[in-house]
Structure 1
Amino acid sequence: MSPKESIPRKKSCNHCYKSKVRCDLKRPSCTRCSNRNLDCTYVDAKLAEEVAASQSSPATVDGTWLSDSLAPETINNELLDFGNIHLVCTVDEHRIRGRWLESLLPSVDQRPKPFQASTMAFVTRVFKSYPRMFLTENHPPFIHWSQIADRVAEPLANCMNITRMWVAQTPESAAMVREVIGQEMSRLFQKAGLRWGEQRAFSGHLELLAILQCYLLYTIMLFCSANAASLVEQDIMIKLQDLAGDLASRGTLCPAETTGSRPDWESWIVASTKRRTLFATYLLDNLVNFTVGSPSFVAVELTGLPAPASKPLWNARDRRSWNAAYNQQLGLSSDGELLINDLWPQSDPNPAPVRQKKIDDWLSSVDEFGMMLYAVTSHTYNEA
């Protein structure tokens, strides 16, 4: 054998190669992938080098995320680059931050939402399921799959671990779990640079989004524990709304969405996930207010935001299928997509045909999160 010739080296599986760890090369699944319930695939040298090159820069939350669920033959074409997100803010961030004041000093034109106890019991059960989803290889419907596909942001990774503690807690360990949750919430708020009187120091979309999502989940955990009303103090809700306002200030819509055209996939993912997280935050605020006997009011500051996207759009795992789903939506919504305020009470007691058709079309393809929002608004306002 000539000096230039060499025995071909066996290549690690895709996951071990990306993680730069030793692979035992077992087929059809190596031990590491089996232990982590990962889809073990072996790729050729050229493809492995391309994947490694795409991840050569320092890993950051706003960098390139790669979905583990993608097939090896498409993995190089499905890189999600969140480093160039363009969004516009279409809401009043100050009203979002100061929403807690509405229950104390409501505007003269505001009317309390006529929530029923049965509606709020339904919302409580749904919210209680959200943290538990992490334990069933699932995730809450306001967290996009790309956020936990490969490189999980540190706040989300911590939240998954704390969720396991919360689910497994006993009466004896409940106080310790609450203390851990409280400490992590304080750390997250400081991490976002939201100390009172200080300059907002954080500017990233994805990490701030993860911080709000986790703060929201921790608040849900506290609320769904014993003595819920006493555990979710007003200071927690004030900070939650402050985080929500800061997130919204960095954009809630893609510029293309304002003109009825198709945005880039990455910007849409961030914008759509932000909106879902804001809707969930507001609904939790309503739930906490109802529990302590305080009124809640229509979130007029969110007027104009699109309602949660369809299941094909939200769950799309590759650019081609997402583009196709978005093009289909544009073709069907000649009068524009359904807005969140289309689900609120209208001045006309009889729904206009155009609005009713929008709602019907939306319901035919929306996921469980959108269906839950519709159930709450429909039952609250007695609309069919």
Structure 2
Amino acid sequence: MKTTRYSSSRQKACQPCSNAKAKCDRKTEICSRCATRGLSCVYPSSTPVVAQNTTNTGGKPEINVQPQPSISKNISIDTILPDLSSTASVCSLPQDANVANPGNSPLDFSNLELVCPINADDINMRWMRSYIPLPEQIPKAYSTATVTFIRRVLKSYSAVAVRSRGIPPFIHPLQMTVKSASPLATCLSLVRICDNLLPGSDEAVAGVLMREMQYLYMQRTTYDDMTLLSAFQAYLIYSMVLFFQLGRVTDSFLRQAVIALQELACSSSRQGLLCVAEQLPTRPKWEAWIVTEAKRRSLYTMYLFDSVLSAQDGLPVYLGTELRGLFAPGSKTLWHAQSRQDWETVYNRHLVDWAGKGFQIDELWPITAALDDAEVVQRRTRMDRWLENLDEFGVMIYAVTSSTHGD
């Protein structure tokens, strides 16, 4: 007899429905409530699967997590995390995370034809520029209000994950439909232990997250492009949860983790940040656009988080000029398209509206003296068109750049 997905648990509802005390119809793959909300439909496992430890073959600094001696002897990790192992990675937990994809042909994330139009190595070295700046670097003068705004927005992204209220807006829901999303699905399940922590358990919980981060970093050379993107996004979420939810504001591990995070971002970016079709310009595959848009949004989120950490440490913050030429966050209708046909229709209109040249992130940066009056007017007209159809992520990016650089 075939084993069902519910055989390992006596719970009659998935975790999100159980937390919300809502009725769960327990449909195959994903229940209706989780499908409509884009939630990770996860059922607890009674027999956790433990992944084997691996060795670090990369040449970068290894992230070492030492035992936490300050953990209370009266608190066990089983009390905090009853269904997951505390001694190794939990990446091999069963993957039930999915979203509804009604009326669509199967998603195919192979042969995406992507290109990286920037020098990705500059992303990897960004952490160093705060200590050894280059002459061509442009400082950003964030006001206290702007830094506070960024902190609160990023904190809300980590809270969304911790409280299982959906996914942060730099993750596309359809990423969760493929097996390569395993690191991300595990992350969205694991960080829920940070909600309603038991008194004195924060050190133990932080240790669990840090060990998972170390595992992701050690495995980085084994990932394909989609899994690498998932690992990068998961590492970013873990880092923000440590900082915003667990209060690891001055933790040396987090500063070391930023180096690893930027290396993951660099490796993912090398695999492509732009669809080849977008350079022609023609309409790319839906899957290709999903991947590149998610990568760019994740990059922008990481850069903002890096700015928060630099401001926290009293270090200068510099404009991410290495990202020049990348597209700004895409439109709300493209990002939230529910079917391939809907997305293709919207993208065809997008090609007409932008006459083959999409709005780029550097068009939100300071206006230089090299632009004449006509070019300034054209730039502001393009910005107005871009603002017409933004989701909350795009609005946040505009708010930060506008308050920092002006119009």
Displacement, 1:234?
2.5
Equivalent residue, structure 1, for 2:396? 372
C-alpha RMSD over aligned residues: 3.0
Partners of 1:221 and 1:129 in 2: CA distance:
10
Displacement, 1:39?
6.0
Q: For 1:122-161, list aligned pairs within 5 A.
A: 122-134=149-161, 135-149=163-177, 153-161=181-189
Partners of 1:152 and 1:206 in 2: CA distance:
6
Partners of 1:115 and 1:20 in 2: CA distance:
50
Paired letter, 2:100: S
Partners of 1:35 and 1:324 in 2: CA distance:
29
Equivalent residue, structure 1, for 2:217? 189
Q: Would the aligned equivalents of 1:248 and 1:274 in 2 still touch at CA under 8 Å?
A: yes
Q: For 1:29-108, list aligned pairs within 5 A.
A: 31-33=25-27, 37-38=31-32, 68-71=99-102, 74=103, 77-108=104-135
Equivalent residue, structure 2, for 1:298? 319
Displacement, 1:255?
0.5
Equivalent residue, structure 2, for 1:49? none
Shifted more, 130-139 versus 164-173: the winner is 130-139
Identify which of 279, 285, 301 aligns with 1:264. 285
Identify which of 286, 291, 297 aligns with 2:307. 286
Q: Would the aligned equivalents of 1:66 and 1:151 in 2 still touch at CA under 8 Å?
A: no
Displacement, 1:227?
4.6
Equivalent residue, structure 2, for 1:47? none
Shifted more, 122-131 versus 284-293: the winner is 122-131
Q: 1:296 to 1:66 in 2, by over 3 A?
A: closer
Partners of 2:131 and 2:298 in 1: CA distance:
24
Kindly indicate whether residue 201 of structure 2 is the aligned counterpart of residue 173 of structure 1. Answer: yes
Q: 1:299 to 1:31 in 2, by over 3 A?
A: closer
Q: Scaled by the length of structure 2, what TM-score is found?
A: 0.74
Partners of 1:91 and 1:166 in 2: CA distance:
37
Shifted more, 116-125 versus 32-41: the winner is 32-41
Paired letter, 1:285: D
Partners of 1:67 and 1:153 in 2: CA distance:
10
Partners of 1:176 and 1:270 in 2: CA distance:
34
Q: Scaled by the length of structure 1, what TM-score is found?
A: 0.78
Equivalent residue, structure 1, for 2:227? 207
Equivalent residue, structure 2, for 1:164? 192
Equivalent residue, structure 1, for 2:345? 324
Report % sequence identity. Answer: 35
**Aligned residues between the structures:** 329
Q: Would the aligned equivalents of 1:87 and 1:255 in 2 still touch at CA under 8 Å?
A: yes
* Structure 1: unaligned runs, 5 residues or longer: 1-15, 42-60, 194-200
Partners of 1:294 and 1:335 in 2: CA distance:
39
Partners of 2:122 and 2:175 in 1: CA distance:
28
Q: 1:177 to 1:67 in 2, by over 3 A?
A: closer
Q: Deviations over 1:86-135 (max 9, x none)?
A: 10111111111011111011011223210111111111111111133233
